[in-house]
């Protein structure tokens, strides 16, 4: 017995014509007479024909599909980026396969294998916290599959990326704390194999330096930046022999963890400690006090990265050109850091 799937051959046989004509008709080729097209289209609808993209893609060696790898889709930044990616891709007739590395290098590698096996036309990647070797990306390169990093990129030379200026944003965030009269400012940083966290740390340090505030090693704590880490880190800070009155966190999640703990033990924000986060998660505007943070438009970053990738895909020359696009961020000032009356 046969599967009940309708193919162009079935349609051809029923109509007593050749399957190549059916194929061309369904693709609206000018080589088929309108009368024939009508006949074929009618019959195709009647039979509920639905093209088998596996066959089509195999023959054309083109899938009109992009792979997207993000650490986790539940992060507001990433889900907005995905929204931007989908919009840009959809506009050009591309589909998107969304995958989560869940911060695991192993999963990231395995996802790339799957994407390659499925012959996606290109890949958008924001790397995991564990990602320290880049073999899997080299593999994409060898297979001539274009890819673009966004947000969490890595430091390999020949790639395109869409990022923000982490150094500058972190500098601004720290500067803001200084302007709010913080003098002992702690920093919760992320895994140092990620460029973004390295750069945020550098920005923090540079601001201190510029304002002649001594840098103290023990005020910087690197972690995975989960909510739990917020409480853990802040406890460490509070046990230090000097009073910390400012905190710049490399993401909002860890900042929120810290705020929750500080509230619980009765430390006042921003009076006792002024806090700034990074990313502008949904929660950040809701928490009390609302969290001052760096807003980065995930949607825009996703869109731009996708357009860059699509450009590479359709334009062989551009595959060799490696661009870095920097998207603007802005500091959103909220209660968690505002200790000074604003003057008009």
Partner DNA sequence: CGCCAAAATACAATCGATTGTATTTTAATA
Partner DNA sequence: TATTAAAATACAATCGATTGTATTTTGGCG
Q: Residue 116 burial by CB count (10 A; 0-12/13-18/19+): exposed, middle or buried? A: middle
Site for a copy of itself, residues 84 to 113, rule: CB under 8 A: 86, 95, 97-98, 100, 113
Q: Which residues contact 156 (CB under 8 A, 6 or more apart)?
A: 134, 137
- Work out the number of other CB atoms within 10 angstroms of the CB of residue 17: 16
Q: Which residue has the tokens 């944003």?
A: 169
What's the CA gap between 70 and 27, in Å, rounded?
35
CB of 55 to DNA, least distance (A): 3
* Number of amino acids touching a copy of itself (CB under 8 A): 44
State the binding string over 35-54 for DNA (x if CB under 7 A, else -): xx------------x-xx--
Using rule CB under 8 A, residue 338 touches a copy of itself = no
Nearer to a copy of itself, 58 or 340 (CB): 58
CB of 43 to DNA, least distance (A): 13
Q: Pick from 42, 60, 143, 158: which binds DNA (CB under 7 A)? A: 60
Q: Which of a copy of itself, DNA, none lies near 144, with the C-beta cut-off 5 to 8 A by kind?
A: a copy of itself
Torsions phi, psi for 327 (to 5 deg): -100, 140
The region of 15-23, 143-151, 227-235, 311-319 touching DNA under the rule CB under 7 A is: 15-23
Structure letter (DSSP) for residue 1: -
What's the CA gap between 202 and 184, in Å, rounded?
17
What's the CA gap between 176 and 287, in Å, rounded?
20
What's the CA gap between 233 and 229, in Å, rounded?
6
What's the CA gap between 188 and 167, in Å, rounded?
15
State the binding string over 254-283 for DNA (x if CB under 7 A, else -): ------------------------------
Closest C-alpha among 19, 126, 23 to residue 71: 126
Binding site for a copy of itself (CB under 8 A): 3-5, 48, 50-55, 57-58, 61, 63, 72-74, 76, 79-80, 82-83, 86, 95, 97-98, 100, 113-114, 116-119, 139, 142-144, 256, 260, 282-283, 286-288
Binding site for DNA (CB under 7 A): 2-3, 5, 7-9, 16-21, 23-24, 26-27, 30-36, 49, 51-52, 55-56, 58-61
């Amino acid at each position: 017995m046969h599967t009940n799937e309708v193919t162009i051959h079935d349609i051809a046989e029923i109509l007593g014509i050749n399957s190549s004509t059916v194929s061309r008709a369904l693709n609206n080729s000018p080589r088929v007479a309108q009368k024939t097209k009508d006949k074929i289209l009618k019959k195709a609808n009647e039979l509920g024909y639905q093209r088998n993209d596996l066959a089509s893609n195999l023959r054309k060696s083109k899938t009109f599909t992009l792979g997207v790898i993000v650490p986790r889709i539940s992060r507001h930044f990433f889900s907005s980026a995905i929204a931007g990616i989908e919009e840009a891709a959809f506009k050009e007739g591309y589909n998107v396969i969304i995958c989560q590395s869940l911060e695991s290098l192993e999963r990231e590698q395995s996802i790339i294998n799957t994407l390659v096996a499925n012959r996606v036309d290109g890949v958008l990647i924001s790397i995991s916290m564990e990602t320290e070797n880049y073999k899997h990306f080299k593999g994409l390169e060898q297979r001539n599959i274009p890819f673009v990093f966004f947000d969490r990129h890595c430091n390999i030379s020949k790639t395109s990326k869409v990022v923000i200026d982490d150094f500058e944003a972190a500098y601004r965030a720290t500067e803001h704390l200084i302007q709010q009269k913080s003098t002992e400012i702690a920093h919760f940083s992320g895994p140092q194999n990620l460029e973004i966290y390295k750069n945020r740390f550098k920005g923090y340090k540079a601001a201190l330096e510029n304002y002649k505030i001594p840098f103290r090693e023990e005020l910087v704590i690197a972690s995975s930046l989960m909510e739990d880490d917020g409480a853990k880190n802040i406890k460490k800070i509070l046990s230090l022999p000097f009073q910390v009155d400012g905190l710049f966190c490399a993401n909002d999640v860890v900042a929120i963890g810290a705020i929750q703990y500080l509230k619980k033990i009765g430390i006042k924000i921003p009076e006792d400690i002024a806090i700034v986060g990074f990313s502008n998660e949904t929660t950040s505007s809701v928490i009390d006090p609302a969290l001052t943070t760096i807003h980065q438009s995930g949607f825009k970053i996703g869109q731009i990265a996708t357009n860059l990738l699509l450009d590479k895909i359709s334009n062989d020359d551009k595959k060799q050109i490696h661009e870095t696009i920097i998207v603007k961020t802005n500091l959103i000032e909220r209660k968690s850091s505002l200790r000074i009356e604003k003057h008009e």
